[in-house]
C-alpha cells in the first residue's frame, strides 16, 4: 500500500515537472500568437501575454500580401522536400549495404563514418569545396552537403541488423536481388525509423539559415529563415514596413506574425510523424 502511494506521488510529481517544462517551451509561441492577433494599442503597450486582446487579423492580411515571404516559403519548402528525400535515399542505401553480412570493407567504412562525429570540415574549406563544385548561389548548396549523416546511417544500420536473417533468405529463395530485398523487405519494415529520420532532417532544413547566409547571394533564393532573420535581427523595414503601415499594426506585431507564419507549416507536419517517433528512435538505437 505504501509502495503504491509512493508510486502515485512520484507519477504526479513527474507529470507536474514535465508539464512545467512543456509549458516553458510552448509559452513563447503562445505569446507571439497572442501579440500577432491583438489590437495595436495593447501590443504596443506590451499588455499582451498569452491571450490576445482586441482580436484582429490585420497582421496576417499584411503577411499574405508580401510576395517576398511567399517566395521564401516556396524556396524553404522545396529545399526541405528535396533535402529530406535525398537524405533518406542516401542514408537508407548506405545503411542497408553496411548491414549485410558479406559487405566488403564495411568495418573500414564504418570507421570513416565515425570519424565525422569527431571532426567536421571547417567553414573556409567547406566554402571552397562548395564553390569548386559549382553549387554556390544555388539551392543545391542548402541541402546536398548534409544529405547523408553518420547519425542516420548508424541508426538505420542497427535497425536493419535486427531484422530476421530468415526473412532475407526467404526473399533470396523467391528470386529477389539485393536491391529487391532492400526495396521490398527492408524499407517497408522500417517505416518508423524512416519517419523519425525524416522528421529530424525536415526540421533541420526548415530552420536552417546559416548555409544560405554563406552560399546564397541572389535574394530570390533566400529561404524563409533568412528573411525572418532580416526582419527580427536587422529590422529590415523594406520587407514589411509599408504593409504594416497600411494595415496599422506595430512592428512587434509584424515580427510576431512572421514568426508564426514561418513556424506553423513544420508544426503541422509533426502530428503525422509523431506516432512513429518514439518507436523509431528506440528501435534504431538498440542492438542485441
pLDDT single digits (tens) 53-84: 888 888 888 888 888 888 999 999 999 999 99
For the full predicted model, state whether its pTM sits above 0.85. Answer: no
Three cell numbers at 37? 492577433
Three cell numbers at 63? 503577411
Identify the band that residue 112 occupies on the pLDDT scale cut at 50, 70 and 90: confident
Task: Please give the Cα distance from 146 to 160 (Å, whole number).
Answer: 22
Instruction: Give the mean pLDDT of 249-260.
Output: 82
CATH for 59-283 is 1.10.3720.10
Residue 79 is predicted with a pLDDT of: 93
Identify the band that residue 239 occupies on the pLDDT scale cut at 50, 70 and 90: very low
Q: Lowest mean pLDDT: which of 31-35, 119-123, 187-191, 223-227? A: 119-123
pLDDT single digits (tens) 194-232: 888 888 899 889 988 888 888 988 888 889 888 888 777
Residue bearing cell 548508424: 154
Mean pLDDT of the chain: 81
Contact (CB, 8 A) for 66 and 240: yes
Residue 45 is predicted with a pLDDT of: 78
pLDDT single digits (tens) 13-34: 888 998 899 888 888 889 988 9
Residues 6+ apart with CB under 8 A from 44: 250, 252
**Is the predicted pLDDT of residue 280 greater than 60, yes or no?**
no
Task: Please give the Cα distance from 184 to 178 (Å, whole number).
Answer: 10
**Would you kindly state where each structural domain of the chain is located, as residue ranges?**
1-56, 59-283
Task: Please give the Cα distance from 52 to 41 (Å, whole number).
Answer: 12
In degrees and rounded to multiples of 5, residue 37 shows phi and psi of -105, 10
Amino acid at each position: 500500500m505504501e509502495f503504491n502511494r509512493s508510486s502515485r506521488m512520484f507519477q504526479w510529481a513527474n507529470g507536474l515537472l514535465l508539464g512545467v517544462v512543456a509549458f516553458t517551451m510552448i509559452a513563447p509561441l503562445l505569446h507571439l500568437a497572442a501579440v500577432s492577433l491583438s489590437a495595436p494599442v495593447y501590443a504596443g503597450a506590451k499588455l499582451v501575454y498569452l491571450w490576445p486582446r482586441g482580436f484582429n487579423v490585420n497582421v496576417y492580411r499584411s503577411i499574405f500580401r508580401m510576395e517576398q515571404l511567399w517566395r521564401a516559403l516556396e524556396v524553404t519548402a522545396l529545399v526541405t522536400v528535396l533535402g529530406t528525400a535525398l537524405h533518406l535515399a542516401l542514408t537508407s542505401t548506405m545503411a542497408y549495404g553496411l548491414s549485410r553480412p558479406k559487405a566488403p570493407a564495411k568495418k573500414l567504412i564504418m570507421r570513416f563514418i565515425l570519424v565525422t562525429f569527431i571532426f567536421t570540415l571547417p567553414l573556409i574549406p567547406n566554402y571552397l569545396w562548395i564553390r569548386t563544385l559549382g553549387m554556390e548561389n544555388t539551392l543545391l548548396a542548402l541541402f546536398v552537403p548534409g544529405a547523408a549523416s553518420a547519425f542516420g546511417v548508424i541508426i538505420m544500420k542497427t535497425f536493419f541488423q535486427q531484422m530476421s536473417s530468415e526473412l532475407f533468405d526467404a526473399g533470396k529463395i523467391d528470386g529477389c536481388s539485393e536491391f529487391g530485398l532492400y526495396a521490398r523487405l527492408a524499407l517497408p519494415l522500417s517505416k518508423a525509423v524512416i519517419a523519425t529520420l525524416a522528421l529530424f532532417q525536415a526540421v533541420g532544413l526548415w530552420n536552417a539559415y546559416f548555409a544560405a547566409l554563406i552560399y546564397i547571394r541572389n535574394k530570390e533564393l533566400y529561404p524563409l529563415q533568412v528573411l525572418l532573420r532580416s526582419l527580427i535581427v536587422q529590422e529590415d523595414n523594406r520587407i514589411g514596413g509599408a504593409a504594416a503601415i497600411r494595415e496599422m499594426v506595430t512592428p512587434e506585431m509584424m515580427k510576431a506574425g512572421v514568426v508564426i507564419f514561418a513556424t506553423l507549416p513544420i508544426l503541422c507536419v509533426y502530428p503525422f510523424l509523431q506516432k512513429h517517433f518514439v518507436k523509431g528512435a528506440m528501435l534504431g538505437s538498440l542492438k542485441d
